Amino acid sequence: MDPSERPMRIGVYICHCGLNIAATLDVEELRRFAETLPNVVVARDIQFTCSDAGQNTIKSDIAEFKLDAVVVAACSPRLHEPTFRRTITEAGLNQYMLEMANIREQCSWVHMDSPALATQKAKDLIAMAVAKASLLHPLETESVPVSRDVLVIGGGVAGISAALDLANAGLRVYLVERRPTIGGYMALLTDVFPTNDCSICVLAPKMAEVYANPMIKLMTYSEILAIEGTVGHFRVTGVTKPRYVDPTLCKGCINECSSVCPVEVPNDYDFNLGKRKAIYMAIPQSVPLVACIDTNACIGCGLCAEACPADAVKYDQQSEEFKLDVGAIIVATGWQPFDASRKEEYGFGRYRDVVTTLQIERMLNAAGPTRGDIVRPSTGEIARSVAFIQCVGSRDQTVGNPYCSRICCMASLKNAQLIKERYPDADVAIHYIDIRAGGEGYEEFYLRAQRLGINFIRGRVSSVEEGDDGLYVHYEDTLLGKTLMKRYDLVVLSIGLEANRDAEVVGNLLGLSRRPDRFFEIAHPKMRPVEAHIDGVFIAGCASGPKEIQVSIAQGSAAASKAMQLLFKGEIELDPTVAFVDRDKCIGCRLCVDTCPSRAISVKDTAFVDEARCKGCGTCAAACPVDAIEMRLFSDEQILAQIRAATAVKGEYPFIVGFLCNWCSYAGADLAGTSRIQYPTNIRIIRVMCAGRVDPSFVLEALRRGADGVLIAGCRIGECHYVSGNLHALQRAEVLRGLLKEIGIDPRRLKVAWCAASEGDILARKIEEFVDELRDLGPVGTELAAALPSGKV
Amino acid sequence: MGGEGFTEEVIRLAGEEIRTCIQCGTCSSSCSTAHLMDNSIRKLIRLVLEGRKREALASDSIWLCTSCLLCTVRCPRGIRPKAVVSALRQICEREGIRSKDASFERIFMDQIRSSGRISEVLLSAAYALRNPDAAVPIMEMGIELLSRGKVSLDPGSVSGMDEIQRIFREFENE
């Protein structure tokens, strides 16, 4: 049975996919063609290969024809590779003895107008797949034990929810919070929509539960400094900053120490509306209930230390480093409020009576700076008229935030109601563009606000001006079609939510990618709402975009359950598609060490790959000057075989061989297919895990065998799935272009393109452009012929 | 009357972003002459998107815009409402639709053509002659400005008149 002893026996299955493939490609001809390929012992065309019937056909063929490997020519491997791997495993083959030819997303769907050329291209794709399949080896997945502890970063409501669920399920949790107390923004709000129940009343018990739970180690006033390792074993280093109060001694009475403190500073927990002392407690319900000294404000007078009955103030307290070994990490780093002073026309920071949503929350809060009164900060008098201005820093491209912050409509509806209930005679108006009240009970909440007599004015406010007797708001009532001006005592800017800048460090340590709106990107915008791109890392709450409390809690629980799924078994399977080193060839040059984005390679005498850490990008294999590093899947010989098969029959001019990275460009090419974006048939795409995998020898081999051009496409710069693989690809391509010039080949025959998974149109356009460029250059070798004096080769 | 072609033309001249208008009214309420306009800038954009060419081109608003660009600076969708106004002016010009104030622009350009710059006094006088209704307030303001030395009777002269003539010729040949 050893494939090395006798020729491989391969089965090829060509899918009709109903008419998705069969309407454009001549599947019968493809089947006849596949039958002629070396090592193929059976070829079939099947209506729906992924159906039970289709899969059963493959299974019975494996038994009947004693197949060693299977080629499925159907949709993208990104869709059904897992399906068919399962199929062949059930029939007794190793799951890695499968290769797919992408004849749907990258052929039939993108060449609907040229069936003949598309069929020719599909033949090449099948021949390439068979060539690779002939060189496949069984790979064994290894299981390794993992840490069952989980790190939760961020102690807002999402982090609290995640920590409690994990702890209640029996996993040990480290909850790391940057500020002196957990609770996040929710702890500072007044009543919350849509039920108008008191925010801290529903949150405080959860905060206390976190503190009391023996499975949760709470680390407040702490930051993460370094994260190494991978899923199952993240080694985390962090630091707990000194609060200059011994948490084991402090009784949380706070009055004793803070009443003697002579320093008053604006209270950041009141968003600078009120004042606090240099020794302070963030909120009365702080968890842990321990005072903290603000070193920026403290003058070191020593009065608090004298006053403390428990002797808890310790001026010599040091920061403490901690190290954790966790199996999974939940990122719940939350959001930051939009800086309202950036909208200069609204006067925040200039006019005292212009405040933000968060400030009005504190004003409405009975424990806040005004004890629940709605006052004009300039005079301290009760505000008789209040305007809410919506979409401040949201839906606004002038400040770079085109997105809707999702919660501000409801927050203003709620605050307007609270004000109207407290001051029935007050004139309360909401200036809005659209009211977005799309949650359960939200529209009813809107209805309630209207019934209370709140004035809804449709039109975005263009500016706020301060007059002698109040604030003047300029707007167009777009329903009346009139530009108007209205006077108010108090203006509340309904500020949007932004990605938390303080979380960028954590994001960089983990290698999380960010969306254009700067929030962390989840693995799939719909199907994988709490997973990061990095194995073992989950994202919950506003770290991945603005969310209301209810959704943040749900996401905290969802992330916890994902972490449980991962860690409960106590072991995880390692992907065997990693790099390995041929020790006889290795010269110990360390080039691979510098190249590896996962820091998985170390060198003693020769290089060594830590397989648990290796992500299989293959950048090292391409970089190795003596070809001592090889990939277990996507090996040099497999890729070279694909190149040779692609160029065996050069059925088209210009003829392009493309190397597309699995995560972005190949996905982009798939998207071009699902979007039915049409482009020329001239390209034969070879999937690699990363653009950094492309060895210069691949490019040279393709050109030598008659390809007119080679395309290398990867993730956009800064968005590489392996951090820097595309940069290595770029660097290598530049050197390679110099080399091509040297040997007399036009360097424009090598094209490098960056394209996100969402940019199918860009990829299609790049291919189109390249075809045109190559047409201008002429067939490969034209330049060599032109260089000869006789004009002949 | 080819409403759709009209929309397409304005979009071609003033930018694709127009399609993303959310009718929030930031442009109109930022506009210093909005109170004089029959249709606000916001509504003008709606008329354009609806292909209501006749209403849009007949609107006073096109001619009341002072090009201060506050609308364009503040638009949350990155639309350039000023560019829409310019596009509509251009279409009016081509189709011979003039607002009642187009005479002012004609006088303005004639003065530039003949002397390279405008004289406030001569410009106002020429305009007042054609619009007797406006003559009295113009004279009142003119006397006040003259007495404070804010305007001069002498338009002065510019160098490079031949260059200015060339610009006019080239423009007209287009």
ipTM of the complex: 0.75
Instruction: Let me know the angle formed at the C-alpha of B73 by B70 and B74, rounded to the nearest 5 degrees.
Output: 85
Q: How confident is the model at residue B1 (pLDDT cuts 50, 70, 90)?
A: very low
| Whether B42 and A476 lie within 8 Å, measured CB to CB | yes
Q: How confident is the model at residue A790 (pLDDT cuts 50, 70, 90)?
A: low
| Whether A397 and B30 lie within 8 Å, measured CB to CB | no
pLDDT per position as a tens digit, A255-309: 999 999 999 999 999 999 999 999 999 999 999 999 999 999 999 999 999 999 9
pLDDT, mean of residues A504-533: 88
Q: Lowest mean pLDDT of A68-82, A567-581, B48-62, name the range.
A: A567-581
- By the 8 A CB rule, do A58 and A87 touch? yes
pLDDT per position as a tens digit, A354-411: 999 999 999 999 989 999 999 999 999 999 999 999 999 999 999 999 999 999 999 9
pLDDT per position as a tens digit, B51-108: 999 999 999 899 899 999 999 999 999 999 999 999 999 999 889 887 666 678 788 8
Å between B26 CA and nearest CA of chain A: 5
Question: A356 has which bridge partners?
Answer: A493
pLDDT per position as a tens digit, A164-180: 999 999 999 999 999 99
pLDDT, mean of residues A14-42: 97
Residues A37, A126: Cα–Cα separation, whole Å:
9
Cut 0.95: pTM above it: no
Residues A726, A375: Cα–Cα separation, whole Å:
56
The DSSP line for A689-758 is S-GGG--HHHHHHHHHTT-SEEEEEESPTT-BTTBSHHHHHHHHHHHHHHHHHHTT--GGGEEEEE--TT
Top residue of B26, B45, B65 to mutate, by most chain A CBs within 10 Å, is B26
Q: How confident is the model at residue B100, as a pLDDT?
A: 60
Find the chain B residues whose C-beta atoms sit closer than 8 A to any C-beta of A: 22-31, 34-35, 39-40, 42-43, 70, 73-78
Q: What is the DSSP letter of A396?
A: B
pLDDT, mean of residues A323-334: 98
| Whether A483 and B28 lie within 8 Å, measured CB to CB | yes
Q: What is the DSSP letter of A424?
A: T
Q: How confident is the model at residue A599, as a pLDDT?
A: 74
Q: Please state, rounded to an integer, the average pLDDT across all residues of chain A.
A: 94
Residues A562, A572: Cα–Cα separation, whole Å:
14
Residues A488, A726: Cα–Cα separation, whole Å:
55
Q: How confident is the model at residue A513, as a pLDDT?
A: 80
Phi, psi of A126 (to 5 degrees): -70, -40
Q: A775: number of CA atoms within 13 Å, CB side? A: 9
Residues A702, A708: Cα–Cα separation, whole Å:
8
Give yes or no for residue A473 having a pLDDT over 90.
Answer: yes
In A, which residues are within 8 Å of B29 by CB distance? Answer: 459-463, 474-476, 483-484
Q: How confident is the model at residue B153, as a pLDDT?
A: 74
Å between B41 CA and nearest CA of chain A: 10
Q: Lowest mean pLDDT of A165-174, A450-459, A604-613, B72-81, name the range.
A: A604-613
Give yes or no for residue A248 having a pLDDT over 90.
Answer: yes
User: Quick check: A264 contacting B, CB < 8 Å?
Assistant: no
Q: How confident is the model at residue A181, as a pLDDT?
A: 97
pLDDT, mean of residues A237-242: 97
pLDDT per position as a tens digit, A193-228: 999 999 999 999 999 999 999 999 999 999 999 998
Give yes or no for residue A4 having a pLDDT over 60.
Answer: no
Residues A18, A14: Cα–Cα separation, whole Å:
12
| Whether B22 and A481 lie within 8 Å, measured CB to CB | no
Q: How confident is the model at residue A515 (pLDDT cuts 50, 70, 90)?
A: confident
Q: How confident is the model at residue A600, as a pLDDT?
A: 83
| Whether B29 and A459 lie within 8 Å, measured CB to CB | yes
